[in-house]
Structure 1
Amino acid sequence: MGATEKLAACLAKYRGVVGKVVDFDAANDRLFALDLTAANTELDPDMVADTEAFTIYINKKLAGSNCRYAIGGYMEHRTIYARSAHFDTEDEPRRLHLGVDIWGDAGTPVYSPLAGIVHSFRDNDNFGDYGPTIILQHTLDGGILYSLYGHLSRSSLKGLATGQPIAPTQQIATLGRADENGHWPPHLHFQLMLDIDDAKGDYPGVGKFSEKDTLLNNIPDPALILKFSGIGTTAF
């Protein structure tokens, strides 16, 4: 049984207690499905390498589709990570995206969908990295689930303390600007993990494609928590 199946079985006992991650009105909001694989020929390496141009591209897609957020990425094999040496390794570059990205405006509120505690936090201040990052720890049916929130504003880390209790649907952060979030267009990297070993304030959000099967055993599909509907389009 993979991580997604394990979490789905556990969450079946927690109906009604899973809150939001961002403000999303299923009755009125639509989501733009953003493909960041090589299939999206609108994106070229020069555009992706230029944070401002990349941001303009995403904003145009949101405006043109009348969508509040763009979303995508779980286990997506992306070429865009060539923009940063942060994802390079000697044997195989990391290109497999392990979470879900929710693209929106800087300053967009971010919430914890479950009760838990602050496990750890850090400003991973490298080009292409997470920037400010929070990891929460949740206890579900006697087991542990970790949730990671990356590309936040620096103000999101102020006042945090390890072990601090977090309530369901409590605002924990806001989306950061490009100059503070690892130099990306504003978005949230939301990721779930069953085990993070001794990691603190950071956990890989991009892995090696050759290790996908192993990663699937530890990293559930965030759709189980997000429960989004209203995908507006599957276009790029």
Structure 2
Amino acid sequence: MFPKTSLHTLFPTVNFTEITAIDMSVNSDFFREDPLHENLDLAREKITKFQNKYPMSLLANGYLEERAFYNTPNFERTLHGVKEYRNIHLGTDFWLPESTAVHVPFDGTIVIAHDNNYHKDYGPLLVLKHETETAPFYTLYGHLSKESLVISPKGKNVKQGELLAYLGSEEENGHWVSHLHFQFITDLLNETENYNGVAFPSEIEKWKKLCPNPSVLFEEEF
């Protein structure tokens, strides 16, 4: 069994009373005009409009969602004559403004602190290792500010409730509308700088075991 905490511990400065999801899957028309999520002005406008409809909601979505965002050559492969994209989302996205504070959900140690400064990558990334009586687990935080890597360097021990990071701007977070990509990981696969946040459809059963639904770590349902 893994421990549980509250999303209010993760985001103590955010005022919310409910969690609401936006459907950003390939079957949704939310980003109909820009399915690749390249027009950030348009995407930001749409997300802001949705947030205004639900002013007391924390917007959280995306686990195992197939997204057109990644249907580009950088996420493409051909295996046994079949082309597929690495486009199944393995974490939960929390759509919050840049500079929103992210706090530590569980005691842990920072094992990755790295700026993956590539288009549609994480930008600044942190991964925490958490010990339990049975086996360790990991939590991943993507699309942070560069300052976050100074606040939380690799090797630092952190306590639940402590400031961990801030969400990054579009210029530093991998070119995304501001949000936190949060991922629950059972095996870090010896990674030291990055970790897959999306998976190929043909490998999804493997990745579901490596990256269970993050909602199991929180008291709230989403």
TM-score with structure 2 setting the length = 0.88
Tell me, yes or no, if the aligned pair for 2:5 and 2:219 is still in contact at 8 Å: no
Q: What is the SS of the residue equivalent to 2:126?
A: strand
Give 1:87 deviation, angstroms. Answer: 2.2
How has the CA–CA distance of structure 1 residues 157 and 210 changed in structure 2, closer, same or farther, with 3 Å as cutoff?
same
Q: What is the SS of the residue equivalent to 2:77?
A: coil
Give 1:30 deviation, angstroms. Answer: 2.7
Give 1:18 deviation, angstroms. Answer: 9.5
Aligned to 1:168: 160
Q: What is the SS of the residue equivalent to 1:140?
A: coil
Alpha-carbon separation, structure 1, partners of 2:8 and 2:58: 18
Tell me, yes or no, if the aligned pair for 2:143 and 2:181 is still in contact at 8 Å: yes
Match of 2:63 among 64, 74, 80: 74
Unpaired stretches in structure 1, ≥5 consecutive residues? 1-9, 232-236
- Are residues 1:35 and 2:35 paired? no
- Are residues 1:188 and 2:177 paired? no
Match of 2:12 among 17, 23, 28: 23
Tell me how large the CA RMSD over aligned residues is: 2.3
Paired AA for residue 23 in structure 2? D
CA deviation digits over 1:126-160, x for unaligned, max 9?
A: 11110100011111114110110000011101143
Aligned to 1:65: 54
- Are residues 1:202 and 2:202 paired? no
Aligned to 1:222: 214
Tell me, yes or no, if the aligned pair for 1:18 and 1:168 is still in contact at 8 Å: no
Paired AA for residue 34 in structure 1? I
CA deviation digits over 1:56-91, x for unaligned, max 9?
A: 111111012224431111111112222x54322344
How has the CA–CA distance of structure 1 residues 162 and 68 changed in structure 2, closer, same or farther, with 3 Å as cutoff?
same
How has the CA–CA distance of structure 1 residues 159 and 65 changed in structure 2, closer, same or farther, with 3 Å as cutoff?
closer
Paired AA for residue 138 in structure 1? H
Identity of aligned residues (%): 28
Tell me, yes or no, if the aligned pair for 1:86 and 1:129 is still in contact at 8 Å: no
Paired AA for residue 192 in structure 2? K
Tell me, yes or no, if the aligned pair for 2:151 and 2:164 is still in contact at 8 Å: no
Alpha-carbon separation, structure 2, partners of 1:37 and 1:195: 26
CA deviation digits over 1:27-66, x for unaligned, max 9?
A: x523331111122113125362212211111111101222
Tell me, yes or no, if the aligned pair for 1:135 and 1:201 is still in contact at 8 Å: no
Q: Which has the higher contact order (CA 8 A, sep 6+)?
A: 1
Give 1:19 deviation, angstroms. Answer: 7.6
Match of 2:143 among 125, 138, 151: 151
Tell me, yes or no, if the aligned pair for 2:6 and 2:219 is still in contact at 8 Å: no
- Are residues 1:130 and 2:122 paired? yes
How has the CA–CA distance of structure 1 residues 113 and 72 changed in structure 2, closer, same or farther, with 3 Å as cutoff?
same
Q: What is the SS of the residue equivalent to 1:143?
A: coil
Tell me, yes or no, if the aligned pair for 1:19 and 1:168 is still in contact at 8 Å: no
Unpaired stretches in structure 2, ≥5 consecutive residues? none
Alpha-carbon separation, structure 1, partners of 2:86 and 2:46: 24
Tell me, yes or no, if the aligned pair for 1:71 and 1:103 is still in contact at 8 Å: yes
Paired AA for residue 78 in structure 1? R
Alpha-carbon separation, structure 1, partners of 2:54 and 2:112: 37
